Amino acid sequence: STNCEGMSAVGRVAEKGGAVLDNCASICHGPSFLAIFDNGYPSCTLGEAKNRADVVVFWGCNPMHAHPRHTSRYSIFQRGFFTTKGQMSRTVISVDPRETDTAKLADHHLMVKQGHDYDLFDAFRTVIRGHDIPDEVAGIKKEEIIKAVKIMKNARFVMIFFGMGCTHTDGRNHNVDIAISLTRDLNAYTKASIMAMRGHYNIAGPGQVWSWQFGFPYCIDLSKGTHAHMNPGETSSIDLAMRGEVDCFVNVGTDAGAHFPVNAVKQLKKHPFITVDPNICMASEISDLHIPVRVVGVEEPGVVYRMDNVPIQFKKVVDGPEGVLSDEELFDKIYERMCEITETEPIWLLAKGHTKALNVAEQ
């Protein structure tokens, strides 16, 4: 929940301090990144989905709750250039183990067996390639699978939206990997595209910014000093916290207090816990230090990324409170102070003295 300029400034501070950089992808769409590294990302913009998609597949996501404006602006109800009748121009397929509000809205609901998404993806690919499948796969009857595949093959443009139902169930990145392969298979018959249902404001931003800064989108270990290193499971924030390897935690524009496992939060609270956020949240309530900043998009301009990785330039609407800095200004000042300190004392010594680390942030 900050702008890309602020994220870049955080990256400079992390690099100077030999820290580990992580973002919300670590606990949501991190597995999607791993699959995209292996298999590519045949995606598009939300505008293309609105204007072209006549078959929309929601796999493991519930936009009626998680993304309330998604269906009205881009995926179902909105009238596009080639989808002039809105919902009447589209066939909606929902793949979800529960009967969600999105599933109730869909023309076809495939109630997949929990944890068997990979099996169903594989069955879809098998049918598309003209081979036979068992009478039932992942709790879905053979006839329903064949019917859904026929709808997709006969479409003008298929849009697959997948959510955390794919990334946080059995298979994880392999579910996304085979979903991308399914999209590629469909492109032999029609036009098909796929998109991750990212959540939170500018959640795609850090992946973009840190990729061009360090070469990796999340779980970036900068402690070696000479190069960046990424290894989810080893360098991810929760794993580091659970192993007790974090001796100072800085929570910027997000809420680790609400979204991290309680045992990870307990480990982080043993050492300085700093929150940089314009709002009071669960993380700020338990922090040793809470630094308020200006609200991006309201009190501060900047670039943010939409879930389809389209950058948007936000403008300032009102002036922020007097004396309150933006995220970028705050971390630029912290960076300058760190540079002053390292003239006489190596920055790695700050990790030895937690009080000093806290004092640097306060200053």
Tell me the C-alpha to C-alpha distance, in Å, between residue 45 and each of 30, 32, 50, 196. Answer: 20, 17, 9, 11
Tokens of 89: 């121009």
Q: What confidence score (pLDDT) does residue 226 get?
A: 86
Q: What does the alpha-carbon distance between residue 249 and residue 240 come to, in Å, rounded to a whole number?
A: 11
- Quick one: angle between helices 173-186 and 30-39, nearest 10? 50
CB 210 within 8 Å of CB 220: yes
What the block records as the tokens of 69 is: 């404006």
Which tokens hold the place of 327? 């995220």
Structure tokens belonging to residue 2 = 């900050």
Whole-angstrom distance, CA of residue 185 vs CA of residue 324:
52
Tell whether pTM > 0.75.
yes
What one-character-per-residue DSSP string does 62-113 give? -HHHHSTTHIIIIISSS--SS-TTGGGG-EEEEE-SS--HHHHHSSEEE-PP
Alpha helices in 233-326 (DSSP H): 237-242, 256-259, 262-268, 282-286
Bridge partners (DSSP) of residue 300 are: 296
122, HSE (Cβ side, Cα atoms, 13 Å)? 12
Residue 259 has which token pair?
Answer: 């979204």
* Six token digits for residue 42: 């045949």
**Among candidate residues 283, 280, 279, the one with its CA nearest the CA of residue 260:** 283
131 is written with which tokens? 């081979």
For the record, the structure tokens of 335 come out as 């960076």
pLDDT of residue 363: 59
130: left (phi over 0), alpha (psi -120 to 50) or beta: left
Could you give all domains of the chain from N- to C-terminal order, each with its CATH number? 4-28+201-362 (3.40.50.740), 30-196 (3.40.228.10)
What gap in Å lies between CA 151 and CA 178, rounded to an integer? 19
Q: What is the pLDDT along the chain (363 residues), one digit of tens a residue?
A: 999 999 999 999 999 999 999 999 999 999 999 999 999 999 999 999 999 999 999 999 999 999 999 999 999 999 999 999 999 999 999 999 999 999 999 999 999 999 999 999 999 999 999 999 999 999 999 999 999 999 999 999 999 999 999 999 999 999 999 999 999 999 999 999 999 999 888 999 999 999 999 999 999 999 998 899 999 999 999 999 999 999 999 999 999 999 999 999 999 999 999 999 999 999 999 999 999 999 999 999 999 999 999 999 999 999 999 999 999 999 999 999 999 988 755 544 444 444 554 555 555
